[in-house]
Structure formats: structure tokens, C-alpha cells
Amino acid sequence: MEIKIMKNILDRNQNKANEVRGMLAGKNVIMVNIISSPGAGKTTLLERTCERFGTEFRLGVVEGDVTTDRDAQRLKKYGIPIVVINTEGGCHLDSYSISKVLNFFDLDNLDMLFVENVGNLICPTQFDLGETFKLAVVSTTEGDDKPAKYPMLFREAKAVILNKIDLLPYTNFSLENFRSDLFNLNPGIPLFELSCTGSDGLDSWYKWILEQISNH
Amino acid sequence: MEIKIMKNILDRNQNKANEVRGMLAGKNVIMVNIISSPGAGKTTLLERTCERFGTEFRLGVVEGDVTTDRDAQRLKKYGIPIVVINTEGGCHLDSYSISKVLNFFDLDNLDMLFVENVGNLICPTQFDLGETFKLAVVSTTEGDDKPAKYPMLFREAKAVILNKIDLLPYTNFSLENFRSDLFNLNPGIPLFELSCTGSDGLDSWYKWILEQISNH
């Protein structure tokens, strides 16, 4: 019974996601669904990325949060359009909520729309938003076992950010184990080892984002 | 429609949780439902706690994971009974799964049963397992905004562990902001600021656990 209901919910979500994907393709907008644990650094990644590209390209952000608009407040200074979705206890965004907030953006004048999903490694992976691709963010301080323990996200993502690389010396995180588990799940996936609060490794990330926009 | 179904699921979960709670009370077993983000240090906290109390008291562990038994493998060396629940994509444990695995424990000879829930700050909070109390674990590297952004857990928990206190100097975590947000939600809640990989602050945690067992 519950499985059937869950299937219905997922089917309906998928239909709406397909609609969103088609619409964004028509407008030539890239939508990036950013998924991570709470506190892995999604908002700080967006701060760096908006700093770098906020004037060069037309960016937008959807901030998904259980409650509060704290993340949106942090991004306000970049002068880009931001919409907050408070899920009021919900553990993920879905394609219906995305579909509704797309009206707030001028899609004819947008290159890339970042969606910061709710901090959660599990549920957001199960709900297609109609994104162009998923981006997984994980940080060294969470331990090297995340790809093995939460394989769905790392299998589906188009790229992975390993954040807080500056804290590596203070942890027991094994880069070797992490890479091995990740590439077993998703051979050849682009992996960016960087620090969003410093500058380590950010250039490769910027270069990759530039390629995504240029080749779209 | 979906709201009604969710209500039915939660009601059924609550009934079974009440049954579990009654049964554990009859056996004088304390059940601790440990909830945190992925990688906050739940398993390492259990390692330290089993080291300290594994021979003095009769402990047991239920390991909830989406997939793998990696956490259980880390605890095997303490010689205590451990049962793994793989949720196969599920984002939280529920009282039905707990009810089933209780059969694997000798409840007449158990003082405290730790349940390591799936790494997730949202969904596990919504499903009562029949626990004696919830324990929230959060780490300094996740940022100081977690109580404000995920208030449900911090409102319901009986105590909070702030782990990775040794990494504080390398982060922009404000203890003042964290404590202020936490105590606004839950005035007077016991807060243990500690490092599970070092020894900072662990004594206060051990003392508190001892009190829970002694006063039960």
C-alpha cells in the first residue's frame, strides 16, 4: 500500500520534472540541483561562484530550506535573483515547488539557475526537479565513507565537489578510499577537491562551470 | 490526499512506538535515538561510549544505514550485541523496524540500547521509535546555524553533543551564536562540547550517561 502510494508520488513528480526540463531547455537555461549533507558548504560554494561569475553571466538561485531564509540572506549581496522555498518540515524539494517558483525568474535572460536543495543526502536524490544535472557536495570533515554509504547521489551526479580540503590534515579522511569508492560507483566523474573558504582548487571548478555554460 | 496518507503513516508509527516504549519500560531498558547529519560523529561517539562503559554496563546497538554495515563493523571490537537495519534507500528508521530487531536482543540483560539512526537531520525526527530520549549530535564543521535551520530535532532532544570541538579554530563556527540559537529553542538543554577523536569534554558526557543509567 505505502509502496504504491510512494510510486504514485514519484510518478507525478517525474511528469512535472519532465515538463520543467522541457521548458528550461526551450529557454536555454541550465539548472543545477545541488545536494549535500547539512553544512557541507553548498551556500559558500554559491558565494564563491556568484563572486566569480555574477557579472559575467546571468545567474539565479533557488534556496530550499526547512525553515529560515538565512542562506538567501548570505547571497543577497551579489545582486542576483533569489527565491526561497521553505519546505516547513519537508526533507527535499520537488518538481512542483520548482515549477511554481520558476515564474519569479526572467527565464529569457538567465544562463544558469542553481537550486540549493534541503541539506540531506537521501531524499533529494529521489525527486527529479527537472534539473540539467545534479551536483554532489561533500566535505572532508564528514568522513571518507559517504559515497559508499549514500551511493544513489554519487551514482547520479554529473560532478562532485569535495569541500573543506584545507581541513584534511586535521581529520582521518582518506583521499584514496574516497576516490576509490566514488570512481567505483561512477567511473570518470569530475571531482573537484577544493576549499570554498580559501582558494584551493577553485580554479578547476570555475573552469568546469564555464565549460558547462559555453557548451550548452 | 498526501497529507492524509502521511498522517496515517505517522499515526501507525506512533502506535507501534508506544508499544515499544511500554515494552522497554517493562524491561527497564533505556533506548537512546541518536540523530545527526551524515558524518557528524555518531559512530565515533558510540566507539568512545562503548570503550568507557562496555564492560561496566550491558549495552547494545542498532545501526541504521541506507546501505552497508560499515558502522557496525567499526563497533564489533567492543563485543556488544549489534543489529544492522539497512533501509535500502529509506531516509529514517521507524518503530516497526525497531520492534522487529528487538527480538535479537536479550532485553532482560540490557541496560542501554543505542540506536544510530540514518544520517539525516529531518526525517528521523518525525518518526518516534519508542525511544526513552533523542540525542542530537552536531559538529563544529557543519556550521553554527544548524539549530536555527533544523529546529525540530533540537527542540525534541534531551541532550546535544557538539562534536569536533578540536576543529573549532579552523572554522568560522561561533559558539556564542550556536548556544544562543539552541537555548532559545530548548532552554537549559544539556550541551556537551567535545571531541570524540580526542578526549576534550568526554568526561562530562560520560558522567551524564552514568546519571541516566543510575537514575533510571
Cα–chain center distance at A48: 14
Decide if B16 is inside a domain: no
| Dihedral in degrees, nearest 10, Cα atoms A123, A125, A131, A136 | 120
Q: How far apart, in whole angstroms, are the C-alpha atoms of residue B155 and residue B187?
A: 9
Give the list of residues 6+ apart from residue B161 with CB closer than 8 angstroms, or none: B41, B45, B135, B136, B137, B138, B192, B194, B205
| Cβ–Cβ < 8 Å for A42, A121 | no
Looking up residue B107, the CATH number of its domain turns out to be: 3.40.50.300
Partners of residue A86 in chain B, C-beta under 8 Å: none
Q: Assign B23 a pLDDT band (cuts: 50, 70, 90).
A: very high
Task: State the helix-helix crossing angle for B202-214 and B42-53, rounded to 10 degrees.
Answer: 60
Residue A149 to residue B89, Cβ atoms within 8 A: no
SS3 B3: helix
| Cβ–Cβ < 8 Å for A182, A150 | no
Mean pLDDT (whole number) for B92-104: 96
Partners of residue A174 in chain B, C-beta under 8 Å: none
- The alpha carbon dihedral of A163, A166, A171, A176 has a sign of positive
* Mean pLDDT of all residues belonging to chain B: 95
Side-chain-side CA neighbours of residue A164 (13 Å): 26
| Cβ–Cβ < 8 Å for B159, B137 | no
% of residues, chain B, pLDDT over 70: 99
pLDDT of residue A91: 93
The letter for the amino acid at A134 is K
**pLDDT tens for each residue of chain A, 216 residues long:** 466 777 888 999 999 999 999 999 999 999 999 999 999 999 999 999 999 999 999 999 999 999 999 999 999 999 999 999 999 889 999 999 999 999 999 999 999 999 999 999 999 999 999 999 999 999 999 999 999 999 999 999 999 999 999 999 999 999 999 999 999 999 999 999 999 998 899 999 999 999 999 998
Residue B126 to residue A89, Cβ atoms within 8 A: yes
Decide if B19 is inside a domain: no
Q: How far apart, in whole angstroms, are the C-alpha atoms of residue B193 and residue A177?
A: 29
Closest residue of chain B to A150, computed from CA coordinates: B66
Decide if B172 is inside a domain: yes
- According to the 3-state scheme, what is the secondary structure of chain A? CHHHHHHHHHHHHHHHHHHHHHHHHHHCCEEEEEEECCCCCHHHHHHHHHHHHCCCCCEEEEEEECCCCHHHHHHHHHCCCEEEEECCCCCCCCHHHHHHHHHHCCHHHCCEEEEECCCCCCHHHHCCCCCCEEEEEEEHHHCCCHHHHCHHHHHHCCEEEEECHHHHHHCCCCHHHHHHHHHHHCCCCCEEECCCCCCCCHHHHHHHHHHHHHCC
Q: How far apart, in whole angstroms, are the C-alpha atoms of residue A76 and residue B67?
A: 39
pLDDT of residue A118: 96
Residue A211 C-alpha, separation from nearest chain B C-alpha, in angstroms: 30
Domain count, chain B: 1
Residue A65 C-alpha, separation from nearest chain B C-alpha, in angstroms: 7
Nearest Cα to B39, choosing from B83, B70, B79?
Answer: B70
Q: Domain span at residue B113?
A: 29-215
Residue B89 to residue A2, Cβ atoms within 8 A: no
Decide if B141 is inside a domain: yes
pLDDT of residue A216: 87
Nearest Cα to A180, choosing from A191, A171, A170, A165?
Answer: A191
Quick check: A197 contacting B, CB < 8 Å?
Answer: yes
Nearest Cα to A39, choosing from B94, B116, B192, B119?
Answer: B119
Decide if B44 is inside a domain: yes
Query: pLDDT tens-digit profile of A61-104?
Result: 999 999 999 999 999 999 999 999 999 889 999 999 999 999 99
Partners of residue B68 in chain A, C-beta under 8 Å: 148-149
The answer on pLDDT for B3 being more than 70 is: no
ipTM value, please give it.
Answer: 0.90
SS3 B164: coil
Q: How far apart, in whole angstroms, are the C-alpha atoms of residue A103 and residue A27?
A: 13
Decide if A143 is inside a domain: yes
Decide if A10 is inside a domain: no
Rg of chain B taking only CA atoms, in angstroms? 17
Decide if A89 is inside a domain: yes
Task: State the helix-helix crossing angle for B2-27 and A2-27, rounded to 10 degrees.
Answer: 130
Strand order through the sheet with A191-193: A82-86, A59-65, A112-116, A30-36, A133-139, A159-163, A191-193
